Amino acid sequence: MTEVAQDTGAAGASRNTPARISVWAAFLGAGLIAGIFLTPMFWLLYGGVYTFLVFAFGVVAIPAGHLGRRRGKRLGGRDRGVALLGIVTGWILIFFSLLLVLAYAGLLAGLAFLADSAS
């Protein structure tokens, strides 16, 4: 009975939590991007919230992915690929959030130009 308890304790201790956090943050950020494309009207209404959350998930995914890669090296390669996926997706999320800021600013500038030329 004690061997089973020790085995489950060892399996729980060898989890690569930063890699899992990284991939979850990347997954949630990608879900927000899908939400932006599926419901563009919500992005127009709440663009700042969507953009901030995409950026925040990217900022969480990158350091957690690096920690997960380091911890994965100590754990014999466990979840290193997942951590790398989180790092790459985190950088894509940050790049996409910057594109969203530029798109939102361009939309507002275009509307201001149209309003100015109409009067």
Locate tokens 């530029």: which residue? 102
Q: What is the tens place of the pLDDT at every residue in 31-82?
A: 988 888 888 787 778 878 888 999 999 999 999 999 999 999 998 888 899 9
Confidence class of residue 118 from pLDDT cuts 50, 70 and 90? confident
pLDDT score for 37 = 85
Task: Provide the terminal-to-terminal Cα distance of the chain, rounded to the nearest Å.
Answer: 83
DSSP 14: T
- The angle subtended at Cα 13 by Cα 7 and Cα 61, nearest 5°, is 145
Q: Tell me 77's DSSP state.
A: S
Q: Residue ranges of the domains in the chain? A: 17-111
In angstroms, the CA 32 to CA 49 distance is: 10
